[in-house]
Amino acid sequence: MSVLVHGLRKRFRDKIALDGFDLRVHPGTVCGLLGPNGAGKTTAVRILSTLLRADGGRAEVAGFDVATQPMEVRRRIGLVGQQAAVDEVLSGRQNLEMFGRLHHLSSAAARVRATELLDRFGLADTGSRPVRRYSGGMRRRLDLAAGMILAPQVLFLDEPTTGLDPRGRNEVWDSVRSLVADGTTVLLTTQYLDEADQLADQIAVIDAGRVIAAGSPADLKSRLGADRLEVVVHSAADLPTAAELMHKIAGTPPDRDDDLRRLSAPVQDRIPALTDTLRALDTAGIGVADIALRRPTLDEVFLTLTT
């Protein structure tokens, strides 16, 4: 295991941040750590990256104990926090060379590593430009590059795309996928459920300092049950009849939104349910503005688990 945690506990005065936190992350995968604000995500990352000592429990990263072998852990990890750690006055190349020197690389080795990372993260053409002239996505990619100076086995990303526009987020996502393809293990905390859905091989949902659910995105979605059939009718006057027809086909009364003229019900056999519903509505002379099958989303999983 790249990350192995059992029974981790941490208290700040009268607040319990972690209360028996457990986690297992396989090598070369992305684990998304999700939870509401104050759930303990950042505290867990700080302990696993040796920035904070736990009050109890045990944690190993890259095969080493974070409490008794912190220097061994630090040699094998990278950390990209919520706030950019790069210097805006320096160029991208100068930043990476500086980080290389801070990691005890020689001047020549730091230059070589900076060139490698600028190429890898698509910043070779802008390496001589001051960071203050970088876009948000470019700055976060440079942050990722700085966290990879020593080619860590495990990379901790604490909400890496907060505040970025869609283009910037996609740039960071592509960079993360590239890292994982080369064998890096990533532990990602994020508030964006679509980000976890896009990147994570496994997800751990944390609430009140402990993991309350874990599995692949598909596993977690399946816990909410079947797909949902959604129908929007042309006329609100047709909603009662359409609801009766959907009830017969789905076997359960549909949820009804009169303002949007929408009905929604869980279905087991998705395609037969769709075709049977269309046929029944057409026979009844009910006009349909839209009809679709929809799988549960991670947002729905998250809200169900944490409320």
Asked if residue 282 has pLDDT above 70, the reply is: yes
Decide: residue 128, CB within 10 A, 0-12 exposed, 13-18 middle, 19+ buried. exposed
Across 262-267, average pLDDT: 89
Residue whose C-alpha is closest to residue 3's, from 60, 55, 54, 43: 60
Other CB atoms within 10 Å distance of the CB of residue 188: 25
Please name the amino acid found at residue 10.
K
Instruction: Measure the CA–CA gap between 91 and 146, rounded to whole angstroms.
Output: 13
CB 231 within 8 A of CB 263: yes
CB 114 within 8 A of CB 93: yes
Q: Could you tell me which residues come within 8 angstroms of residue 242 by beta carbon, excluding any fewer than 6 positions away?
A: 231, 233, 263, 281, 284, 286
Asked if residue 294 has pLDDT above 70, the reply is: yes
Across 277-285, average pLDDT: 94
Give per-residue pLDDT as tens, 182-240.
899 999 998 888 889 999 999 999 999 999 999 998 888 877 766 889 999 999 999 99
pTM: 0.79
144 pLDDT tier (thresholds 50, 70, 90): confident
Decide: residue 184, CB within 10 A, 0-12 exposed, 13-18 middle, 19+ buried. buried
Full set of structural domains in the chain with CATH? 3-221 (3.40.50.300), 224-296 (3.30.70)
Percent of all residues in the chain with a pLDDT value above 90, rounded to a whole number:
62
Give per-residue pLDDT as tens, 70-111.
999 999 998 888 777 789 999 999 999 999 999 899 999 999
